[in-house]
């Protein structure tokens, strides 16, 4: 649509604005307040809780699985257990062991632990930034800057 086209209520079309993510679109000017708001929104962007939980779950799962597999492939001298330090995780993760089947159990545990930590980190990040922004805007409002 162009600016010459009319909307059904016969009001002229406004100038193009930035997309959902606040991307820069050439030819679109913003007021000084609008740019400041975009900077604040970008600096204090929210984390997607589910996305961070899944991402951290995958990273932790792969890390625990890879640590087990690397130790199994590397092997150990006869009479010595494989990965005695990593095997200490059996105290906290029932069913986990430094073995091929235990590495897949570790994959599941790693995903669960990483997902919980990722979700918790995203949640705390979002709450802390929300509280900070509310206090910042409230302070500016009472100071008369708005």
Tell me, yes or no, whether 65 and 37 share the same domain.
Answer: no
Q: Is the pTM of this model over 0.75?
A: no
In the DSSP assignment, the letter for residue 92 is T
Q: Please tell me whether residues 54 and 125 are part of one structural domain.
A: yes
Q: Mean pLDDT for each 10-residue chunk of the chain (146 residues)?
A: 51 49 56 70 85 98 96 88 90 93 95 98 94 80 64
**Which residue among 28, 43, 58 closes a domain?**
43
Last residue of a domain, one of 9, 28, 43: 43
Tell me which residue of 65, 68, 49 sits closest to 111, measured CA to CA: 65
- Domain containing 22 equals 1-43
Q: Count the domains in the chain.
A: 2
Whether residues 101 and 68 share a domain: the answer is yes
- The confidence score (pLDDT) of residue 66 equals 96
Same-domain pairing of 71 and 121: yes
Q: Are residues 81 and 126 in the same domain?
A: yes
Say what the pLDDT of residue 30 is. Answer: 58
Pair (78, 29) in one structural domain: no
Measured distance CA(39)–CA(30) in Å, rounded: 12
Residues 53 and 16 in one domain: no
Kindly state the tokens that stand for 26.
């050439």
Whether residues 139 and 67 share a domain: the answer is yes
Q: Are residues 60 and 36 in the same domain?
A: no
Same domain, 60 and 130: yes
Closest C-alpha to 84, from 100, 73, 95, 68: 68
Largest separation between any pair of C-alpha atoms in the chain = 86
24 and 69 in a single domain? The answer is no
62 & 120 share domain = yes
């Amino acid at each position: 649509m162009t600016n010459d086209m009319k909307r059904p209520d016969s009001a002229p079309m406004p100038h193009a604005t930035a997309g959902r993510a606040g991307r820069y679109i050439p030819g679109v000017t913003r007021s000084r307040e609008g740019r400041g708001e975009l900077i604040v929104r970008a600096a204090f962007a929210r984390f997607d809780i589910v996305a961070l939980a899944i991402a951290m779950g995958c990273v932790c799962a792969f890390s625990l699985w890879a640590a087990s597999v690397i130790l199994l492939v590397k092997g150990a001298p006869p009479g010595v257990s494989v990965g005695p330090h990593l095997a200490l995780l059996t105290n906290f993760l029932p069913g986990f062991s430094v073995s091929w089947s235990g590495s897949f159990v570790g994959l599941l545990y790693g995903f669960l632990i990483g997902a919980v930590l990722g979700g918790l980190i995203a949640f705390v990040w979002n709450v802390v930034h929300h509280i900070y922004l509310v206090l910042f805007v409230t302070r500016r409002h009472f100071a008369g800057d708005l």
